[in-house]
Amino acid sequence: MRKPIIAGNWKMNHAPAQAATLLAQLIPLLHETACDVVVCPPFVSLSETLSLTRGTPIAVGAQNCHIEKSGAFTGEVAPDFLAEMGVRYVILGHSERREYFGETDAFINRKVRAALSCGLIPIVCVGETLAQREDGVTAELVSYQTRAALAGLSPAQVGSLVIAYEPIWAIGTGMTATAADANTVIGIIRGQVRKTWGDAADMIRIQYGGSMKPGNAAELMAQPEIDGGLVGGASLNADDFAAIVHYQAERNA
């Protein structure tokens, strides 16, 4: 059985003081969880977040990292720096990094390798735009992105990481793929992993990353292929994020 994983991507929100306020509200709500919980603050709030979550069920992730350990890369952060701080996860290949910063599949693959080399767990994002969805190329696209991002990895490495399927058309728009549609695409991603890396498909956890909210979390998480959520806006509200983490209570209500 794959343990569910709910991760909050704070994006460029919450400087250290705001991060402390949110965590003070969130931590008491998550003293007991049935899934892995991750929060991913901006770089400037990592130290505060790591300090405040120590001894809690909450793990900390970063939103990006560079491919090199050190060097003349002004403004970048090496994965080794994150690992030394105590960061456990790192989001890679997010659609905003691809769109706004021109990150290619090959570059994302180098980041995945770099992160794994220093013990970080990548959360690798794949997903289609609305135009690509309407053109009927979703299956082909997510399969290619998966192969490209994980190229050259061993089955054990692939099985240890996380993929987040983020339908780009559903991010920040309030639109959400139906639970059945999300399950179908995540099944395609898992099928590609099985085709290329065999039994790693049974170990790798694949999240849904398109506007997961308290109102739809239980339905999404009931799908057999969906192992968690990469949560955006709802992760900035303690009650909403906790409700998503405790989706099983909603399902059993």
Question: Which residues are catalytic, by number?
Answer: 94, 166
| Residues 172, 232 contacting (CB under 8 angstroms) | yes
| Residues 60, 46 contacting (CB under 8 angstroms) | yes
Give CA angle at 7 (52, 108), nearest 5°: 110
Give the whole-angstrom CA distance, residue 247 versus residue 215: 9
Backbone angles phi, psi at 38, to 5 degrees: -130, 140
Give the whole-angstrom CA distance, residue 87 versus residue 63: 11
**Among 223, 149, 128, CA closest to 192:** 149
